[in-house]
Structure 1
Amino acid sequence: MQRQKHTIIFEPVPAQAMAGICGGSKEGMDLINGNQVGRESYFGRFLRISYPSLSPGTGLESINRAAVQVLLASMNRLENTNGKVKVDLWHWIRHEMFLATTEAIYGPHNPFRCAANEDAWYEFEEGIMLLLMKMHKLSPQGRSSFKAREMLVQEFSRYYEQGHHRIPGIPNLCLVQACYNFNVSQGLPLNDIARSELGHVASRVSNTIPGAFWMLWHVISDTTVLADCRTEIEQVVTINVVQQKGTDGQIFEKEVHTIDLSQLTNRRVCPVIMSTWYEVLRYNHVGISARVVTSDTRLDRYLLKKGSTTMVVGSVMHSDVSAWGPSATEFNHLRFLKNDGPSDSQITPDSNRKSIPHAKNHTDNINPEKGPANRLFGGGSSLCPGRHLASQEILSLLALTIMRFDLRPVSGQSWIPPKKVIPLPTALPIPKATYSGHLDIEIVTRHPGREWRVVFGKENLADT
């Protein structure tokens, strides 16, 4: 089906969703719906202009660094509490990932620095389906979601009117600049640009946030997975002894642990981390990919009639035993390891690199980049352009959390999986507590007094 991109197309789906969820003028919707086929459609061209900022390169690196900097600052504050911190795991991750992503994209005038705007976003999200079906006037939740949406539209209108996206010397604004400039070039009115920004925010956080939750959940709730991930992350940590001056003026030596977060998404350096991440996506994926048939098309023995809608159900494909083997319905964090991968000496110059014995020669290992049943990030012309950014953010959160803290249920009981709520527009489920305090956890510093430094490639981000 992915090969039939000119007759089974994606573009009408986001266009219709944008009209209902974000609102928009007739003029703006006519521009967006003008040509819906292939690379010359509005969404086809929009994706092309976003690729330079979201594909590996200087633009993506600058956005990654900005997001990691926000996460790092939060972890430093958490560690400086010098004791146990109690949080709701879902609410904590949601806030940290939402703020890191929006800060990285929108810069120092990020509208979501205002807590009221962040709360408005969550209120808007709750009623997205009511807005899409134009039923928001029939319920208190729908009316509240509509009110929150209009509030956020005004905030983004001010953001652009005041030129906050054009601040010189801030390279991580590259994506928002490219999106704005494209919309202006298409003649989209400012109010419609502000409304379209709600769709952009949704595309950047709606799967990243639950993805971060399930990644952290699967790691911290399984002692084997946690040990494997910590062992591998230790390979990107260097320990140096530095001289420091004490309050009494005396010089003393201290160990400094430096972690390079840029290596986490390198499958040659962190194969287990990446395999775990891919398996989290496969195991929890509930996305439904819709397409519209623009002319009669035959797929194998099926005739798809013009005007019909096709749907690819991710959970069905990702639990197919014929594609994933007899363990398809089980969580196996080593599933995506390559048996024919490089040796330890090829992975890193560190001769002391630790290996994970049970990670080698796993019978279910496959190549995650190949195979029609693999739709971890979508596929074909709708392959998620933000997959690199989301992966870096989520794995950075994981590393900063599990290397510096221990997390355990407040109840003192074992980890009990939460229920999964499946919002239609997202590819990953939202966790829901099954009882009061279900997701409450304690965060405890693992190594009090240890000094951490974080680098991203060659750039030193901050010291604790």
Structure 2
Amino acid sequence: MEQFYLHLLVLLVLSILLRFLIAPGHAPEEPPLVSSRIPFIGHLIGLARYGNRYYVRLSAQSQLPAITINIFRQKIYLIYSPGLLAAAQRHAKYISFEPFAALAIRRAAGIKGNGPIVSSSSEKGRSSFDKQMKDAVHSVLLGEAMVGITRASVAAIKKSVDDLRSTEVDLLTWCRHVLTMATTDSIYGPMNPYRNREAEAAIWEFDSGLGKLTLNFAQRFIAREAYQAREKLVKRLLEYFEKCGYINASSFVQRRLEVERKASATLEDIARLETLMVLPLLSNSAPSTFWVLFDIFSRLDLLEEIRKEIVQNALQFKPCDDSMGKPKQMCTLNMNNIRDKCPLLVATWQETLRLRANTASVRFVSKDTKLNDTYLLKANSIVQTPANVLNVDPNIWGPDAHLYNPRRFLDTRASPGAGGDRKRDRKWNGFMTFGASPWTCPGRHFATAQILALVSLLVMKFDISPVAGDWVSPRINHRSMALAISIPAEGLMVNVVTRKEVKGIDWEFQMMEGKA
């Protein structure tokens, strides 16, 4: 009898394993299946080894507009075509991020139980709490309230640059510090819980381990550093809310807090959710700024052109007196003109984002959906659209797609067969760094204002050059798959020297009322 039960148990285990390992069926209407050399886990190994570069390898291997890969029994569709991406956008009701949101938030923030923050989606696809929180975030980041936050952030950036003297700095570390303080001060107010070096370091440690935390497997061991960093941040945020630091905070904090309180969320859950809220505004800004500065200062001709453009279109000189009554000069950088009348600077920013893109958007298919009457996407599958493929597609960007050429964004001529405006088509169908409608990043305007302010001021005030002598691109950390922008795996020490032409000149930013 014991042997019978033993054999039965073995058969049961084998049947479970076979069901788990046997790949799901593949219909002819689905995107072509690309198998891995190692069954079941080959693609997983590829992602672990190459990060989001693995999607580029699969694209080059298949030369197809869309493919299917299987990881264990999970079906994943990779879309490489702007036309298919546009078709997926039209089916946003059934191809959505929402099903991932509650699970990802719960795991990454360490929220336990079944409170409103992690409640399951309703039959319509989204819980009431989730919808209200999304509306609160978008109403601030895309509304008039963001003007004051942006102005405060730009003022903090200006102060940090004022404090920078001729010196040596690690460029990425310095950019991180400046943008972290400018962003969190403008959002959280005078009691900013991130305003010390330990908390600042914890933000980036937490951010770097989000992927491991989301796996939710032995977090204290597998993601020990990120786990510890998160708990430090939770402690500081709990203290912030307990001491009512939010009273003098921005509407970005206050409006979300209103939603959380109405849902009767616990203070600990509020603090845990808050650890995630600032990351989208920070995690990509620092590497983006680093790369824009790298791309400008490593090209002296481009640097001089951008300086001339700023002087002609966005800079005003005026005499004034210092605190001792002595005459001096003030330079005013008009941020609205930087954005609207300095096309080469903005194009340089866009070109950097295009070539440094690392994101691969993730969406869940809730219902069988056909794209352009061509490919069938089956329910319960995942759709990913890798920006690092679309952003260098020669069919979109031309034969020089892999080369750095900011002027491609200045060319508004219609491309062959586009049937419309080339700039518009590229922006919405081929430029994926900020996502694609209706899934674009709501913080993109804030990030752009911050980065253009910092870059324009550094360009006008300083000459920057590598301590090592030559501009050599640092190695990339390809395993940081959660970031929209590639991040260097090593530091870059640079010499920062005040330009002779602007010594003794004070600087300020000007922003028109009602504009960010």
Instruction: Identify the TM-score tier after normalising by the shorter chain.
Output: 0.7 to 0.9
* Alpha-carbon shift at residue 245 of structure 1 (Å): 8.3
Q: 2: distance between equivalents of 1:294 and 1:242?
A: 63
Q: 1: distance between equivalents of 2:123 and 2:268?
A: 22
User: How many residues are aligned here?
Assistant: 416
1:14 and 2:67 are equivalent in the alignment: no
Partner of 2:453: 396
* Mapping 1:17-416, distance limit 5 Å: 17-28=104-115, 31-35=118-122, 37=124, 42-55=129-142, 57=144, 59-79=145-165, 84-137=166-219, 139=221, 142-167=223-248, 173-234=250-311, 235-242=313-320, 253-266=327-340, 269-300=341-372, 301-339=374-412, 366-367=423-424, 370-412=427-469, 414-416=470-472
Q: 2: distance between equivalents of 1:244 and 1:111?
A: 34
Unmatched 5+ residue regions in structure 1?
Answer: 341-363, 460-464
User: Does the 8 Å CA contact 1:71/1:100 hold for their aligned counterparts?
Assistant: yes
Q: 1:150 to 1:244 in 2, by over 3 A?
A: closer
User: What is the letter of the counterpart of residue 464 of structure 2?
Assistant: L
User: What is the letter of the counterpart of residue 280 of structure 1?
Assistant: T
Q: 1: distance between equivalents of 2:316 and 2:242?
A: 46
Q: 2: distance between equivalents of 1:76 and 1:400?
A: 10
User: Does the 8 Å CA contact 2:203/2:229 hold for their aligned counterparts?
Assistant: yes
* Mapping 1:408-427, distance limit 5 Å: 408-412=465-469, 414-422=470-478, 423-427=480-484
Q: CA deviation digits over 1:292-338, x for unaligned, max 9?
A: 11111112322111111111111111111111111111111122115
Q: Partner of 2:442: helix, strand, or coil?
A: coil
User: Does the 8 Å CA contact 2:332/2:510 hold for their aligned counterparts?
Assistant: no
1:432 and 2:486 are equivalent in the alignment: no
* Alpha-carbon shift at residue 442 of structure 1 (Å): 0.8
Q: CA deviation digits over 1:68-117, x for unaligned, max 9?
A: 111111111114xxxx3111111111111111111111111111112111
Q: Which one has a bigger Cα radius of gyration?
A: 2
User: What is the letter of the counterpart of residue 236 of structure 2?
Assistant: E
Q: Partner of 1:425: helix, strand, or coil?
A: coil
Q: 2: distance between equivalents of 1:245 and 1:303?
A: 70
User: Does the 8 Å CA contact 2:359/2:387 hold for their aligned counterparts?
Assistant: yes
Q: 1:30 to 1:329 in 2, by over 3 A?
A: same
User: Does the 8 Å CA contact 1:296/1:303 hold for their aligned counterparts?
Assistant: yes
User: What is the letter of the counterpart of residue 233 of structure 2?
Assistant: L
User: What is the letter of the counterpart of residue 384 of structure 2?
Assistant: M
User: What is the letter of the counterpart of residue 463 of structure 2?
Assistant: D
Q: 2: distance between equivalents of 1:182 and 1:303?
A: 38
User: What is the letter of the counterpart of residue 227 of structure 2?
Assistant: F
Q: Partner of 2:401: helix, strand, or coil?
A: coil
Q: 1: distance between equivalents of 2:482 and 2:116?
A: 20
Q: Partner of 2:114: helix, strand, or coil?
A: helix
1:441 and 2:494 are equivalent in the alignment: yes
Q: 1:36 to 1:51 in 2, by over 3 A?
A: farther
User: Does the 8 Å CA contact 1:336/1:368 hold for their aligned counterparts?
Assistant: no
Q: 1:148 to 1:36 in 2, by over 3 A?
A: farther
Q: 2: distance between equivalents of 1:36 and 1:196?
A: 24
* Alpha-carbon shift at residue 257 of structure 1 (Å): 1.8
User: Does the 8 Å CA contact 1:409/1:440 hold for their aligned counterparts?
Assistant: yes
Q: 1:95 to 1:215 in 2, by over 3 A?
A: same
Q: CA deviation digits over 1:107-136, x for unaligned, max 9?
A: 111111121111222222232222111245
Q: CA deviation digits over 1:135-187, x for unaligned, max 9?
A: 45474x722221221121121112112211112xx6xx011111111222233
Q: 1:375 to 1:458 in 2, by over 3 A?
A: closer
Greater mean alpha carbon deviation, residues 186-195 or residues 40-49: 40-49
User: Does the 8 Å CA contact 1:35/1:42 hold for their aligned counterparts?
Assistant: no
Q: 1: distance between equivalents of 2:261 and 2:498?
A: 48
User: What is the letter of the counterpart of residue 281 of structure 2?
Assistant: R
* Alpha-carbon shift at residue 458 of structure 1 (Å): 4.8
Partner of 1:355: none
Greater mean alpha carbon deviation, residues 155-164 or residues 119-128: 119-128
Q: 1:370 to 1:446 in 2, by over 3 A?
A: closer
Q: State the superposition RMSD in angstroms.
A: 2.5
Greater mean alpha carbon deviation, residues 99-108 or residues 256-265: 256-265
Q: 1: distance between equivalents of 2:276 and 2:202?
A: 15
Unmatched 5+ residue regions in structure 2?
Answer: 1-87, 414-420
TM-score by length of 1: 0.83
Q: 2: distance between equivalents of 1:288 and 1:399?
A: 29
User: Does the 8 Å CA contact 1:338/1:367 hold for their aligned counterparts?
Assistant: no
